[in-house]
Structure 1
């Protein structure tokens, strides 16, 4: 497996990095744009206020939404990792950690300075709260079919009962599968999907009202409230930051 690089690159909207893995842990971050990371365990989405931690050996692929500046920091597998080595996760990136990640991936950074920056990055990651906007991958075929049907038509108010009929399961069984595999109810999962999709659409320049409609929110105000609770900022602020970036 290749070494996880520490570098910064720029990518256009829609750019895709094919499925691959590294023999080191890796933190991936976009200081501008949105990145969707897909692994065998599920999908994660992050913008400038979040980074995705990918453990060594984990198969993953990336897709960028909006013009993106992509930063990757590799961590040797033999080191004591600053985040759990068992599964990918999303961590909050505050102003200090952001500047550290940008500086650490500067191609002209001297080696001794990189060593010092890495030590501080490790300290900050130990303290960074985990804030996932994630779509776990279903193992049960019935749950996978129901999730695909709901995600394909977010603008329709699909009930659990209608999804169960389409997936060939009882409503009770499907509800149990959501709790057993995802640790959440169907409405909680659907909210995650809508926020996930909204982040991508906003990064692509779609107006807030249009995003609210496409993601199945009854009103723009309900979309604003849900998005704020999930990400800590309003869709308007998020979109303006993406345009300014």
Structure 2
């Protein structure tokens, strides 16, 4: 039985959440590791939002804010599309291969057109259709928050700095893990000049675990490598360079992150 999913950005655009830097950074980290939400959860989030006036306007503003902080491999795939044709190929490929409750295909030949196929029923389909159209239009725009990025090998470090999050031990841990994604907690503490207890406290204050942050860092390194290598580097080499023990561990983490296997993902790069 297929468990139908939705890309996290859609449902969370309708959620009532705090804009505190700590919470936004935690969101960015969590959604690298687990980028798909249950289709029913998305549907229910839209249903709750539909009772409030101006729901779509608020959702669009929130979507743009979160889009700028989205470091999931799917975001990297769309960000690095060189033109409308490449975006169409990548977007449609992801929609066809991922276990999405609604398959949304785009055509850019004569203006932007969307074609939806419902795989799983949900509430307020019209609002969800509108949210999908808004998402695609912003992803393709030249001034998209996603396209304003350049060197994305360390996106979580950039997000931390842009949010102005005052947690120095956590900031240094992000930098340290990008330098050594194999590091354990004690090694990371030594690298940032903090005791194990101090570093654990910094993670607790952020609502994160060391393992979760490390996994997110590893996945962003792997997504950058896959989009950059164009199939020229083996999956095993990418896994090791990104901090994974072997390719099997990367495959498992990748499917949880974006609903695709690394091979499927690389076929779209």
Distance in 2 between the 1:106 and 1:239 partners?
28
Contact 2:81 2:87 in 1 (8 A): no
Contact 2:99 2:259 in 1 (8 A): no
Distance in 1 between the 2:108 and 2:129 partners?
9
More strand by share: 1
Deviation at 1:95, TM superposition (A): 7.2
Distance in 1 between the 2:262 and 2:223 partners?
8
TM-score (norm 1): 0.51
SS of 2:260 mapped into structure 1: coil
Deviation at 1:67, TM superposition (A): 3.7
Task: Identify which of 202, 215, 232 aligns with 2:226.
Answer: 202
Deviation at 1:58, TM superposition (A): 4.2
* 1:121 maps onto 2:138 in alignment: no
* 1:193 maps onto 2:217 in alignment: yes
TM-score (norm 2): 0.47
Contact 1:224 1:235 in 2 (8 A): yes
1:85 corresponds to: none
Distance in 2 between the 1:151 and 1:196 partners?
9
Contact 2:169 2:194 in 1 (8 A): yes
Task: Identify which of 83, 107, 115 aligns with 2:111.
Answer: 107
Structure 1 residues 188, 225: closer, same or farther in 2, change over 3 A?
A: same
* 1:236 maps onto 2:263 in alignment: yes
Matches within 5 A, 1:169-184: 169-181=194-206, 183-184=207-208
Contact 2:177 2:217 in 1 (8 A): no
- RMSD (CA atoms): 4.3
2:175 corresponds to: 148
Structure 1 residues 149, 58: closer, same or farther in 2, change over 3 A?
A: same
1:20 corresponds to: none
1:98 corresponds to: 104
Distance in 1 between the 2:109 and 2:249 partners?
39
1:224 corresponds to: 251
Structure 1 residues 188, 119: closer, same or farther in 2, change over 3 A?
A: closer
Q: How many residues in Structure 1 have an aligned counterpart in Structure 2?
A: 163
Distance in 2 between the 1:108 and 1:215 partners?
36
User: Taking CA–CA contacts closer than 8 Å with sequence separation of 6 or more, which of the two structures ends up with the larger relative contact order?
Assistant: 2
Structure 2: gaps spanning 5 or more residues: 1-8, 11-20, 37-59, 70-74, 89-97, 114-124, 134-154
Contact 1:66 1:203 in 2 (8 A): no
